[in-house]
Chain A
């Protein structure tokens, strides 16, 4: 019986939390909409913070209420898409991972791209960082194929999340030398794949998850 009571109690808590965070910051009708959408999203396992942030952002920018509402609905749709895509990739979804996936979709990646990253079987913190970096690279103009190829290779190599965070800077450095974002990402992917085969340089990263291929037998 207490279990039955727990759900309404948590929903009331959620509604109160949203109301408190939006109080005085957004028009009342926007606040009501975010509460409704937030409770429904939470029931589906989605994070609520992105909805609240988008409503506050729109109000701070002086955007009309109707347009804020549309933007908040779009955020919910992106979160739903991300959650479904990650589940298809076999990932038990965490709210922060879903939020990272929604950002990647907003940056130009698709649900299929997210599923491909989820199928790398990377640990949850690494996947979350991978999704954020993938979205950042998309925002920098890296096409989805090169973007997902690079991030997938990095995630499969088992390198620390900090290495992923260096990728936008590395792409930017290559672009400043005159190559396109796609070429920069493809070059980094080749380097990551080679590093995965031969192991990281001394003192960097973790060993690759799979041993390198055995040497070919000598020719007679």
Chain B
């Protein structure tokens, strides 16, 4: 409620405001009141017709409805996104993707065959054979491996698992040692 709406005008002045009569039609004693009423009306017409409180209440109501509805719309979308992420990215990866070339060497003059088995070839004792270079019994293999940590062992004559004497080693959990390579 505003101050202007509380003001009570004479019924003839109200007719003036309604446009039913003109200022000249008012009795002389009401003309001042009529002029004031017209001035007030003109002032009101120049003011912005804003109803922020009403707007706020209506929008708040709409907002509340939206908030009630949004979780039901968002939940399936988020769940679908989670499923897609689980399928597309089964594991987080912060490892650098670079690869490095490494030369493995084992001196085994008595060996007939030497291979390399480790985390990089699923411990397949036949996947990475070493090549004997000359009669001195030096066996070598050159691999390109991803950066990271690798555990491995040499497999001599297909049976004997031998850690690399030139590399640090850790317990393999089976009573033997695995060599460690950190790239």
Contacts and interface: CB of A to CB of B under 8 A. Distances in A.
Contacts of A161: 96
Contacts of A165: 182-183
Interface of A is mostly: helix
Interface stretch (B42-50, B81-89, B104-112, B132-140): B81-89
Nearest to A127: B94
Contacts of B168: 136, 139-140, 168
Nearest to A55: B123
Interface residues of A, number: 49
B117 interface: yes
Interface string A66-105: 0110110011000000000000000000111100100100
Contact of A71 (B79, B149, B173, B183): B173
A179 B96 CA distance: 33
A64 B82 CA distance: 40
Residue in B76, B79, B171, B182 with the greatest tally of chain A CB atoms within 10 Å: B182
Contacts of A124: 94
B78 interface: yes
Given A3-B79, A10-B86, A60-B117, A132 B182 contact: yes
Chain A to chain B: the 3 pairs with minimum beta-carbon distance, closest first: A2-B79, A71-B173, A139-B168
Interface of A: 1-6, 9-10, 13-14, 17, 25, 47, 49, 53-54, 56-61, 63, 67-68, 70-71, 74-75, 94-97, 100, 103, 106-107, 124-125, 128, 132-133, 135-136, 139-140, 161, 165, 168
